[in-house]
Structure 1
Amino acid sequence: MHRPSRPAIAFILVAAVLDVMAMGIIIPVLPPLIEQFAGSTRAAGIWNGVLVALWATMQLLCSPIIGALSDQYGRRPTLLLSTAGLTVDWVLMALAPNLWWLVVGRMLGGITSASFTAIYAYMADVTPPEDRARAYGWVGSAFSLGFVAGPVVGGVLGEWGPRAPFWAAAVLSGVAFLYGWLVLPESLPAERRMPFAWSRANSFGALRLLRSHAELSGLAMTNFLLHFAHHVFSTVFVLYAAHRYGWGPFQVGMLLALVGVLEMCVQGLLVGPLVRRFGDRAVMVAGLATGAVGIAAMGAAPNGVWFTAAMFPNALWALAMPTLQAQMTRQVSEREQGQLQGANMSVASLAGIASPLFFGWIYGLSAVSLPGLSFFIASSILLCATAIGALTARRARAADTARGERG
């Protein structure tokens, strides 16, 4: 197994940060830019929803393609092309003279940010199975940093105008591309590559891999429910905080930053030691269960202080993602890691399309009578994920034991 240099791992983590910043940096500045083109707040709200859906749809369509391409041609060219494409996307958004340019820019952003698949596949290539939970914890920590930095950078630079954050992001992505060109080695040797096939490079073909056996199917369902529940924050959080506690943009922004910092600490500092002590299956189940308790406490919080306090146990659900990913990589061959990550991104994209529609509908029905209902439902979904994950982990442990006895 190829061991990359520290600069190579640094590039992977920087790419992860920039991909998440691609989502976060536009939060403070894109709606005003859309309103400027659309001419009214109502039209801007509709167009903003359209752009979010387009971004998620392009992720759904392109993640399996990028994963399959990385299985054939390697991770390095896929990552470099994605980073270069993200640079072009930022420039396009910065120069946009009308809404249609923004539409094209968001579609291109969804395609280039689908490099999540190659990022996870790269880490699987260079990390032994027993260390993958810790490695994915690093990637998750990088994602959390991007989640924190994106809105903050966008808000600060937005004071100079709604286009300034896009120019800054273009510069950062360009620097990342040059850095990766110089230091990033290929992680997938020729003998482990798999020919590209359209039967695998589409969402439905990639998802077939997840049905290859019961353990992988159970983990995939756990993954879907985890992402579905998590979108309660992107859909309801801002509206709920303003309605229930009277919080404005500054307070909401700081709390979102706190969420990102907590998740970054959990994935960057806790995953490795806990997995070494208890194993990734137990840590996954504990993370899901604790997150369910925390998010229910957020829905029941009588005031802002209790709501903020509930974020701390809720942040422990960040233990689940890297440990879940690590278990899934052990269920497929080394030649199928890119396809697996493409399938996982398809699952996340499906949740990203369906969940905001669901929680938006729920909040619209319950905002007056029971504003915390969305959080209670999200908690119930996480509890279902906990049960499925625990059952699947038990089956996987029994299968591993049987394989060991046959060996």
Structure 2
Amino acid sequence: MISITHPTARDMALYAVYLVVVIDIFASALSVPIMPFYVRDLCGCESMDAAASCADPVCNRLGGATASLGFMFSSFAIAQLISNAWLGPLSDAVGRKAILTLTLSGACIGAFASGLAPSYSWLVAARIFIGFCSGTMSTANAYIADISSIKERPTLMANMGTLLQLCFMFGPGVGAGLAELDRRAPFWVSAGTAVLALLIVQLYIRPPDEIFVSSEPTHEVAATGEKTGEETVKEDAAGQDPPQTDWGLIAVLALGALGSNTAMASLLTCQALYLQHLFGFGSLQFGFVMMGTATFSILVRLLIFSKVQTALGLMPTAVLGALMGTVTYVGYSTLDGSRASMYIFFALAGVGTVGSTFTGASVTPFFSQLGNRKNMGRVMSVSSMASSAGRVIGPPVFGALYSINPRFPYRVAALCTIGAAAVYALVALRTRPKSEVRPATPLAERDAARAMSLKRTPSGLEAQKVANATAELQELLAMTLQQRGYDLGNAAVVELLKQLLVDVLPVRADGCTDEQVLGAGMESVPESWSGASREHAHCHPHHA
């Protein structure tokens, strides 16, 4: 994992990519609470109602401010969808650093252009440009996969999700505050932070091979046969990835992610307008609603998610999250604008936050487990494309539905999350025997035997005897390996030694004492292995 007190080259690279993502997402979060009102002002609309006239002819043809907002979000998402189709494979070919440089440069230019927008059409063009250069998150996830083992990826990517929530905890509130000074101020700040992220990429993001080469073991470590953390990670990253990628399974999982993200688009498109319609909330109040849900999401990730995911697995946790989302959207569609319904809204927002956290923190790491280092950029781009496709489909649909009835978008969103839950359940059934059920390996049998022996061992004095005997055996094993001169720095040698230990030790048999079983096992030890072991067996014939 990551060390704070003695960071390695890999740790510094992880810190850098986390910081880049934080800066990029924070910059995007600044404009979220003000965007509906910014579009309304640029369109020159009297209100967000579909019947209200707009000064901008483009907005009039689209159907008003709400439809124009949906069109803008969809235009961005379409451009993002197209960019993910080529940025992911390109990052596999040219490297993650080059793609991060490209995406952050585009974010900087696009934010600056958004702030300068004199009209709605200009703003849409700026958002499309940002979409075409979008890909920081998927590239960062691919980079994390490059420098981590498959076992580490869920945790490291969950850290990414926590940081993202931190951005949405503070970003919308800061953006709403900046908008009180100047409605374009959030875009100026976004452009400046993108420049800072670019500087970090150039200084600290390095290719994986350079990271591992810079962490060669010292002479002392080499002499003892121990491996550095980077050596272990490099071997794991190279050896634990699936040799073949199941693109059919990835496509099915992407359908579930599409449903979840389409439902989330209802919040992006309609939530600010819906809360204004029901409770009279403005951009400032909506910004703090988003800050509150982001804070709660962080608490869920830190206190609840790990326990639930460990108990259920990644995909069952995603199923649970999608079902909680369904309950939330159905509840939103029943609110009536009363004070009591405001409290119900906050309760539903809490349930929805738990659900979206469970789903988001489970699906992305699961995508990474289906790829390998050669195609991780493509695999993670599929995940991002599913998210983008949801934002393509959702905004125009939900914008049109909102114009008809403010409750309709949430009812459709509930159907989307029900479908996503079904897909996640299918993926869980498809992968459970391979990826979520512990295989019956000799080492697994060893752990089961250890658990059984602990059940048979009473506490107190007997437990101390077991601990002393275990320590004595460990010391003898270490001394023997050192005397025999095995190359413990060779991963293949270590694996063979593990297998040898498991194979040589006989299995306990019913009706026989441990001494009888082990004595019989001594007779089967080859003559060339150990004279001492053979002598022990012959000196104790009653064991046979």
Task: Kindly provide the amino acid, as one letter, of the partner of residue 205 in structure 2.
Answer: L
Rg larger for: 2
Contact 1:64–1:342 at 8 Å: present in 2 too? yes
Which residue in 2 is equivalent to 1:204? Answer: none
- TM superposition shift of 1:33: 5.7
Contact 1:262–1:315 at 8 Å: present in 2 too? yes
Which residue in 1 is equivalent to 2:426? Answer: 391
- How many residues are matched? 385
- TM superposition shift of 1:406: 11
- TM superposition shift of 1:227: 0.5
Alpha-carbon RMSD: 3.3
Task: Kindly provide the amino acid, as one letter, of the partner of residue 228 in structure 1.
Answer: T
Q: Which of 414, 417, 437 is the aligned partner of 1:379?
A: 414
Q: Which of 290, 295, 298 is the aligned partner of 1:264?
A: 298
CA deviation vs aligned residue, 1:323-380 (integer Å, no higher than 9, x gap): 112222222332111001112222211111111222223333333xxx3x43233223
Q: Which of 121, 132, 143 is the aligned partner of 1:122?
A: 143
CA deviation vs aligned residue, 1:93-150 (integer Å, no higher than 9, x gap): 3445555653442222213332222012112222322332222222122222233333
How far apart are the structure 2 equivalents of 1:88 and 1:400?
Answer: 43
Q: State yes or no: 1:328 paired with 2:333.
A: no
Q: State yes or no: 1:183 paired with 2:217.
A: no
Which residue in 1 is equivalent to 2:266? Answer: 232
Q: State yes or no: 1:147 paired with 2:168.
A: yes
The change in CA–CA distance for 1:92 and 1:388 in structure 2 (over 3 A counts) is closer
SS, match of residue 177 in structure 1:
helix
Contact 1:283–1:319 at 8 Å: present in 2 too? yes
Structure 2: 5+ residue runs without aligned partners?
3-7, 47-53, 60-64, 212-243, 443-544
Which residue in 1 is equivalent to 2:321? Answer: 287
The change in CA–CA distance for 1:403 and 1:217 in structure 2 (over 3 A counts) is farther
Structure 1: 5+ residue runs without aligned partners?
191-208
- TM superposition shift of 1:56: 1.1
- TM superposition shift of 1:167: 2.3
CA deviation vs aligned residue, 1:66-111 (integer Å, no higher than 9, x gap): 1111101111221133223322333333445555653442222213
Q: Which of 69, 78, 81 is the aligned partner of 2:99?
A: 78
Which residue in 1 is equivalent to 2:157? Answer: 136
Question: For 1:8-407, what aligned pairs fall within 5 Å after superposition?
Answer: 8-28=13-33, 38-41=43-46, 42=54, 43=56, 45=65, 48-96=69-117, 101-187=122-208, 212-213=247-248, 215-301=249-335, 303-317=341-355, 318-367=357-406, 371=407, 373-400=408-435
The change in CA–CA distance for 1:269 and 1:9 in structure 2 (over 3 A counts) is farther
Task: Kindly provide the amino acid, as one letter, of the partner of residue 348 in structure 1.
Answer: S
Task: Kindly provide the amino acid, as one letter, of the partner of residue 204 in structure 2.
Answer: V
The change in CA–CA distance for 1:310 and 1:60 in structure 2 (over 3 A counts) is same
The change in CA–CA distance for 1:188 and 1:56 in structure 2 (over 3 A counts) is farther
Task: Kindly provide the amino acid, as one letter, of the partner of residue 132 in structure 1.
Answer: R
Contact 1:75–1:188 at 8 Å: present in 2 too? no
CA deviation vs aligned residue, 1:218-247 (integer Å, no higher than 9, x gap): 311111111111111112212222233343
SS, match of residue 134 in structure 2:
helix
Q: Which has the higher contact order (CA 8 A, sep 6+)?
A: 1
How far apart are the structure 2 equivalents of 1:178 and 1:74?
Answer: 17
Please identify, of 13-22 and 334-343, the stretch whose mean Cα deviation from structure 2 is larger: 13-22
- TM superposition shift of 1:177: 1.6
The change in CA–CA distance for 1:185 and 1:397 in structure 2 (over 3 A counts) is same
Which residue in 2 is equivalent to 1:196? Answer: none
- TM superposition shift of 1:38: 4.9
How far apart are the structure 2 equivalents of 1:211 and 1:350?
Answer: 21
Contact 1:210–1:220 at 8 Å: present in 2 too? no
Contact 1:227–1:352 at 8 Å: present in 2 too? yes
Contact 2:77–2:392 at 8 Å: present in 1 too? yes
How far apart are the structure 2 equivalents of 1:276 and 1:154?
Answer: 36
Which residue in 2 is equivalent to 1:201? Answer: none
Q: TM-score, normalised by structure 1?
A: 0.82
How far apart are the structure 2 equivalents of 1:380 and 1:34?
Answer: 29
Contact 1:74–1:188 at 8 Å: present in 2 too? no
CA deviation vs aligned residue, 1:188-212 (integer Å, no higher than 9, x gap): 789xxxxxxxxxxxxxxxxxx9983
Contact 1:32–1:162 at 8 Å: present in 2 too? no
The change in CA–CA distance for 1:28 and 1:72 in structure 2 (over 3 A counts) is same
Contact 2:177–2:284 at 8 Å: present in 1 too? no
CA deviation vs aligned residue, 1:300-322 (integer Å, no higher than 9, x gap): 35610011011112111211122
How far apart are the structure 1 equivalents of 2:265 and 2:313?
Answer: 27
Contact 1:133–1:271 at 8 Å: present in 2 too? no
Contact 2:179–2:186 at 8 Å: present in 1 too? yes
How far apart are the structure 1 equivalents of 2:207 and 2:44?
Answer: 48
Please identify, of 44-53 and 110-119, the stretch whose mean Cα deviation from structure 2 is larger: 44-53
- TM superposition shift of 1:48: 4.2
Task: Kindly provide the amino acid, as one letter, of the partner of residue 277 in structure 2.
Answer: H
Task: Kindly provide the amino acid, as one letter, of the partner of residue 11 in structure 1.
Answer: A
Task: Kindly provide the amino acid, as one letter, of the partner of residue 263 in structure 1.
Answer: S
- TM superposition shift of 1:284: 2.0
- TM superposition shift of 1:250: 3.2
